[in-house]
Amino acid sequence: MSEITEKIKQSAETFEERIIEIRRTTKVTKGGKNLSFRVLAVVGNRDGKVGVGVGKAREVPDAIRKALVSARKNVIEVPVVKGTIPHEVVGKQDAAKILMKPAAPGTGIIANGTVRAILELAGVQNVLTKAMGSTNPVVMAQATINGIKNLYPIEKIAALRDITPAQVVRGVKKEG
């Protein structure tokens, strides 16, 4: 068994799984119509790790299994600060754009179904989002992941700017 499949099996216990969409697709051929299914799935541990995957197969259970395996392979880290994201970010994928803004405690996740599922399983509790352009679930999921990849932890921003993390949050006082 390869190292990747072992890693996937070990992480299976800790990740929560959610199916976002099951869509029936049809290919018209000379002999008739070929039906297949496309599944969009999300896995996450509600503690800063989330992955999205798409699976296609002739039967729904096979498509779900493929989507979950794909999602576990594509797990990324999400910097979560006090239940929200560290800063505003825009994720883009094809014609879809998703704007994500940090929110105060008690706000909740203000988002469409696809983005909500991803952010919930990532462990984000308060965030404001706005979907612009395409709202196709697969493209929105990828745009959300692209936005999350562009999030930086406060410590990394502080190191890049040569200031303390507290100064990043509160602002730097001007001299003179």
pLDDT score recorded for residue 5: 63
pLDDT score recorded for residue 173: 75
With CA atoms as reference, report the closest residue to 78 among 113, 42, 50, 105. 50
pLDDT score recorded for residue 52: 96
- Residue in the block written with tokens 């049809």: 26
Element (H, E) at 165: helix 165-170
pLDDT score recorded for residue 172: 73
Q: What is the mean pLDDT of each run of 10 residues along the chain (176 residues)?
A: 61 80 94 94 93 96 96 93 90 94 92 94 94 94 95 87 81 70
Q: How wide is the angle at C-alpha 100 spanned by C-alphas 171 and 22, nearest 5°?
A: 160
pLDDT score recorded for residue 176: 55
Enter the pTM of the model.
Answer: 0.85
Helix, strand, coil fractions of the chain, as percent rounded to 5: 35, 35, 30
The answer to whether residues 127 and 103 touch, using CB atoms and an 8 Å cutoff, is yes
Domains of the chain and any CATH numbers:
1-76 (3.30.160.20), 79-169 (3.30.230.10)
pLDDT score recorded for residue 24: 95
pLDDT score recorded for residue 159: 87
